[in-house]
Structure 1
Amino acid sequence: MENAGDLEQYIGTRISDLRKERALSQEDLADRISVSYQQVQKYEKGRTRISVSRLVDLAAALGVGLNELIPDEVRAPKLQHSADTLTGGFSLTRDEIRLLKLYRKVGSERMRRIVLDYMRTISES
């Protein structure tokens, strides 16, 4: 990528292509990530920079990993490997991302253990 504008354009095109492959309208995708369809248009045309958190939301809404949105020449191999290792090579769903965000907001270590124990119990039943 020669400049930042090229990167936004590449990512926007990937978002558009993936959205169309999944037969989603811009409005459908916008609803999934809680923005307007006009904002999705701006992302797809590379007119607006996308924050990392929004990029994560977009990837989850499209059912892909971040590596599907970022060009190979920009991706850091170590970072890609780390992300794949953390997720077992699977993309996280929007609900899984929400669950992680909520878990991180739990202030008490004791409460986090209780939540984990509860999740373990219900997942085994």
Structure 2
Amino acid sequence: MPTRVNATAALAEELGERLRAVRLDHRFSRDRLAAALGVTLHQVQKYENGKSNISVPMLILMCEALGAHPMELIGTMVEARVTVCKTQDIAHERLVMAQLKLEEICREIAAGT
């Protein structure tokens, strides 16, 4: 099972890949984006390589600089995670219901009915 640290690293990498794709779609060089954000070229590279986490304020600044909507960067990531959570919640709910039913059957057997 993935740890929270591994999941965070994977998300940072995925967000970085999306940032790179959106930057290229909007025909921005790394230098131009770095200048617009007030950070170094190296920092933009770290964001794109998933080596540095992107804060929410920085994400907003990136979107403003690129003329992109935040959902271009995080949309499907969030949707996929919500779907997984909902699926896990449904599975957990079914497991709890099955356990309750099993306990009820055990009580009935113990009572001799």
Superposition TM-score, scaled by structure 2 size? 0.61
Gaps of at least 5 residues in structure 2 are 83-113
Give 1:41's aligned residue.
45
Q: Distance in 1 between matches of 2:15 and 2:55?
A: 12
CA contact (8 A) 2:13 2:49 kept: yes
Give the counterpart of 2:73 among 69, 72, 92: 69
Q: How many residues align?
A: 76
Structure with higher RCO (Cα < 8 A, 6+ apart)? 2
CA contact (8 A) 1:10 1:71 kept: no
Structure number with greater Rg is 2
User: Taking structure 1 as reference, are residues 73 and 28 closer, same or farther at Cα in structure 2, changes over 3 Å only?
Assistant: closer
Q: Distance in 1 between matches of 2:19 and 2:70?
A: 11
Give the counterpart of 1:4 among 4, 8, 15: 8
In structure 1, give the amino acid aligned to 2:54.
Answer: I
**Bigger fraction of residues in helix:** 2
In structure 1, give the amino acid aligned to 2:68.
Answer: V
Deviations 1:11-69 (A, max 9, x none): 10111111112221101000111100100000000000111100100111111111111
Deviations 1:58-104 (A, max 9, x none): 11111111111114242598xxxxxxxxxxxxxxxxxxxxxxxxxxx
CA contact (8 A) 1:9 1:46 kept: yes
| Residue 51 of structure 2 is aligned to residue 30 of structure 1 | no
In structure 2, give the amino acid aligned to 1:65.
Answer: H
Runs of 4+ aligned structure 1 residues displaced above 3 Å come to: none
Give 2:63's aligned residue.
59
